[in-house]
Amino acid sequence: MEAARKVGRWFAPPPDKAADGRDQWPSRTAFVLASMGGCAGMGNLLRYPSQVYNNYGLQWFIPYLLAIFLIAIPVLTLEIAIGNAYRGGSVVASNTMHHRLKGAGLAILFIGFVVGPYFVVNLAWIMTYFRYSFTSPLPWAGRGTEFFEDVVVANPDPVPGMLSDDMSQVIAYTSYPGMGVIPETAAWCLFTWFLVWLCIFRGVGLTGRVIYWTMGLPIVITVILIGRSCSLPNASAGVAAFWATWRGEELAKGQLWQTACSQVFFSCGIGFGYFSSYASYNRQHSNALADALMIATSNAVFENVAAFAVYGVIGFTGLWPWESESPIGGFTVGFLTLPLAIVEMPAANFWAVMLFFTLMVLGFSSAFAMLDAVVTLWMDSGTKLSRPVVVTTLVVVSFLLSLPYATEFGYYLLDGVDRWISNVALVFVVFTECVTSTTVYRWRDIEGQVGLPAFVTYNFGYFGGMLIGLITAHSVSAPAGAGAGFGVFLASLLVALFIAKTPDVKAPRFWQKNVFVRRFWLLAFYSGNQLTADLNVVVGSNGNWALPFWWAPLLRYISGPILAIVYSFSYPDFYSKRQDPTYIYGFALAHCALLIVALGFVVPRWFDSLIPPPRRNEGHIPYAPLVTLDPDELRERQRLEAGAADIITKASVDSEARRRCSAGDGKAESPDGLEAKPATTTRAEIGLGRRSSSEQDTNGVLTNEKQTEVK
């Protein structure tokens, strides 16, 4: 029995603990590999080839590369930095930036919780191929498309719907003749969710071991597949279709830019919440910027190199994208091409087993990454349940959510949900990450320096200009939209500069020329500047790469507007496809993420149960203009203040008990039956320590006259 326990502890060791008691990765390598595995399985071998197939040609790489460098890397840096600095998953970290951002953090996890169940169905299809890999000859030889559609997916063709000629009315909705659950797909889903449970039920100690297998083996198998695929007859024609073709006219279509952005989100894993979760288990003072660059660039390189395993098979089979009547599903091309490459290899059955085993282990690393982010949320909330119980509950719920995609219409449901989760929810949530973190973070400093009217006016121009510009662009023309958007922004900026108060703090040297320039800096750049400075106390110290000064402006003024433009293309696209019930469902489901963001901003108290009680006040940052705040010390100060509030409440109860006592012996009983003590609690007793009256006003907030930088 003792030997069995030793084996269990070796296989599933308890995680290491950081100084603050939080679970900790066994090494930085484990964190980086787990982060890469989370996005590699989802985006690289299963989804990327399909997106490139639908948008073949070199023009694809223009929006793709712009999205990586202007959106993915800055947002990835943000997610890793706040997770590490604020020691929590996306909801806790977002709450620490501002208490009204809890909804934004929860919307990120909502997306991962929606994507996980249908992504697991893709893994169930892989396991169906895995089962047939033991049949000789391989049953998909010479009929790759038919085998996938008739045997693996097994969905009967739907009856197409119809729009009127002017697209103003739906004449008939698409109908699906099959509604039953496909037993094999459902069984493999159950098996996959069991593997997910096995990998995360003990925490990062076990995950750190598993990830070496889920990342190492796929790289070896992928290199072998590339070699075989590119050696097939006519493989060069397939490579040329993607790397020697130019279709410049596609750049004028919003769908190309929208697809490139959503693919980059899947490739780099941003917007799913697991980077903040994983980073919260890092050692403090980890190098967030270096990790973000490493993860984003390695995944981009890997998916583009791995795609050659698909290009060669496309040339060999003649499955040309320009002959396809409509775009194929988001995860389909890999299923149509990779099995055919295996057929042409010696010992085909052996390599088929290795391929689908590899795809499985690579894929479920994404599945457990997305679910682990939700587990982190639950554990961070202060629950009394053990981690195995929490993981088991979430795995069971996720399996039940997978069942609709394992039906005879599940393939079409998956395609409908994936399209709108990617193009609507994911884009909007990442947009929210970019603009809110650089707008509302420490906004009371801005209000105190320039006044609330100026702050509101400027941000009306920023957000209102984007909204009015995009509406005008879609209804009139792109130049008219640009003119309207910039016009609203510039007009609001001028009004804000003239109505703003004169600030009494010094701006950085370049922005110190006159009062109007100082006001502009406070309105436009202060939040991002302080976020960068505060995060650098943790992630930019001890020899780490510091977050650069231009990182936050890039998020707000480049990444944010680009995502707003990309997001605006979703609604015209939906209008042309609204006859399909699966698209309607996916479109409605995607908008739940928007609703969560809005509710979190309007009624943040509704989400307080997701935050552990000692940390609920962290989003109320004290007024301290141009003071760099150490996240660790600020968190400790607010924890002590929360404890002080409890002591003061108890003292008030004791005082009320004494007031009610009789004049006979001067003693009173408190509500719990104990003798009441005099209510003379001092500041030292409640843990706030001593602070001179000049450093703190009557509300316990740092004043502008005496600011002390928190080191």
Domains and CATH numbers, the chain: 2-435 (1.20.1740), 631-695 (no CATH)
CB-based burial label for 301 (10 Å; 0-12, 13-18, 19+): exposed
**Window from 127-131, 240-244, 522-526 with minimum mean pLDDT:** 240-244
> 54: pLDDT confidence band, cut at 50, 70 and 90?
confident
- Model confidence at 711: pLDDT above 50: no
pLDDT in tens, 238-285: 888 888 888 888 888 878 888 888 888 888 888 888 888 888 888 878
Enter the tokens of residue 644: 């002080």
Question: Per-residue pLDDT averaged across 566-592, rounded?
Answer: 88
Burial class (CB in 10 A: 0-12, 13-18, 19+), 642: middle
* Maximum pairwise Cα distance, the chain: 105
The mean per-residue pLDDT over the stretch 660-667 comes to: 47
| The pLDDT value given to residue 453 | 96
For residue 542, is pLDDT > 90?
Answer: no
Q: Are strands 23-24 and 16-17 parallel, antiparallel or unpaired?
A: antiparallel
Both tokens of 99, joined, read 């208490």
Q: Higher pLDDT residue, 465 or 543?
A: 465
Whether residue 693 has pLDDT greater than 60 = no
- Expressed in angstroms, the distance from the first to the final Cα of the chain is 51
The dihedral through the CA atoms of 532, 533, 539, 542 has a sign that is positive
| 342 or 429, which is more confident | 429
Query: pLDDT (tens digit, 9 = 90+) per residue, 137-163?
Result: 899 988 888 898 899 998 998 888 888
Transcribe 31-97 into DSSP letters. HHHHHHHHHIIIIITTTHHHHHHHT-SGGGHHHHHHHIIIIIHHHHHHHHHHHHHHTS-HHHHHHHH
Q: Where are the alpha helices (DSSP H) in 271-409?
A: 274-280, 288-306, 308-317, 333-343, 348-380, 387-402
pLDDT at 654: 53
Distances (CA, A) of 255 to 51, 262, 503: 11, 11, 45
Round the average pLDDT of the chain to a whole number and report it.
Answer: 82
Express each pLDDT in 617-649 by its tens digit: 888 888 999 998 888 777 677 666 656 555 554
Peptide bond into 137 cis (omega under 30): yes
pLDDT digits (tens, 9 = 90+) for 70-96: 999 999 999 999 998 998 889 999 999
